Homo-oligomer: A and B are copies of this chain.
Amino acid sequence: MKVTNSLEIPRFSGIRSFMRLPLGDETKTDISLVGVPFDSAVSFRPGTRFGPAALREASLILKPYCSVLDTNIFENLTLADYGDFPTVPGYIEDSLDLIENNLRPFLAKGSIPIAMGGDHLITLPQLRAVHKELGPVALLHFDAHSDTVPEYFGKPYNHGSPFYHALKEGLIIPEKSIQIGIRGPLYDRNILNYPKEKGMRIVMGEELHNRGMDAIIKEAVERIGNTPTFLTFDIDFLDAAYAPGTGTPEVEGFSTHQALYMVRRIAKELNIVAMDLVEVLPDKDNSGITALAGVSVIHAVMAAISYRKQHNLK
């Protein structure tokens, strides 16, 4: 795998691919980066269609070695950037089909796709693809919002509804799934009843603040075990001060240190089969720290996968 060395060619040079990785072709890579520039399903502020481009730009300053896990991503894994999936802005159902169909080949050949959103509805077609290729999976979900509202404005599909559908369609295994960091005002007292009744574990932000990270890490790892897992990370899991560039920011959230501390320690124990990082909105990210946080989460998951391969786990 030919990678541009940033000690030789300045990192501000060149066509923007993720970490200046080679563009993907037919060859299988361990990890496949793809962009999903879709934001037609947002309930408030649009613009995450420019998320993939912003994440690629932010990824320029990443480097391959993770000192926390003592692992070098480029030594253990093959990676490529496969560009963006086509979508149809303003036509949600068509876009969902395009995303699902474009993702399946990566899963079929055993690559781990890492999708850069886009709004959170893009996780639904990914879960459909994963379900078709690999069967139902565990969901490891970092977010400020549960995204389990059945409908908005009389319509089923919205970035606040993907996990309602995922549960209803049987794409994920509720008793193996966990949502972490949910907080902020809610529409009403009963809004989270459906996922809870289905068996989903919801760790509210307040609980995470009060019990601490280690307790939740332990619970997540034990709950999921070795079930194939889809890791979805909504950038608004982070506090609005750490991730201002998102459509529905929430206060009372978590720092990047807390997020990465948890992601690394949980992910290195799991069998991640697909991942996405969603809801980065560049127009509200003046200084770029939100995109930087986003690629740092991706980096942490890649490092966890690298660590597992390095240590022959799985």
Chain A residues with a Cβ under 8 A of chain B: 6-17, 23, 35, 37, 39-47, 49-50, 53, 56-57, 60-68, 70, 72, 81, 83-92, 94, 149, 151-155, 157-158, 183-189, 191, 204, 206, 209, 239-242, 244-245, 248-249, 251-253, 255-257, 260-261, 283-289, 292-293, 296, 299
Q: Indicate if the CB atoms of B65 and A189 lie closer than 8 Å.
A: yes
Which listed residue (B8, B67, B155) contacts A94, Cβ 8 A? B155
Which listed residue (B10, B244, B245, B253) contacts A37, Cβ 8 A? B10
Q: In the complex, what distance in Å separates the CA atom of A206 from the CA atom of B8?
A: 28
Which listed residue (B43, B92, B242, B251) contacts A11, Cβ 8 A? B43
Question: Copies per complex?
Answer: 6
Contacts of A46 in B (CB 8 A): 39, 46-47, 49, 89
Q: Indicate if the CB atoms of B44 and A61 lie closer than 8 Å.
A: yes
Contacts of A23 in B (CB 8 A): 15, 23
Contacts of A206 in B (CB 8 A): 67-68
Contacts of A255 in B (CB 8 A): 239, 241, 252
Candidate in A7, A44, A206, A284 with the most chain B CB atoms within 10 angstroms: A7
Contacts of A43 in B (CB 8 A): 6, 10-11, 89
Q: What residue of chain B has the Cβ atom nearest to residue A187's Cβ?
A: B63
Contacts of A292 in B (CB 8 A): 240, 249, 251
Q: In the complex, what distance in Å separates the CA atom of A49 from the CA atom of B43?
A: 11
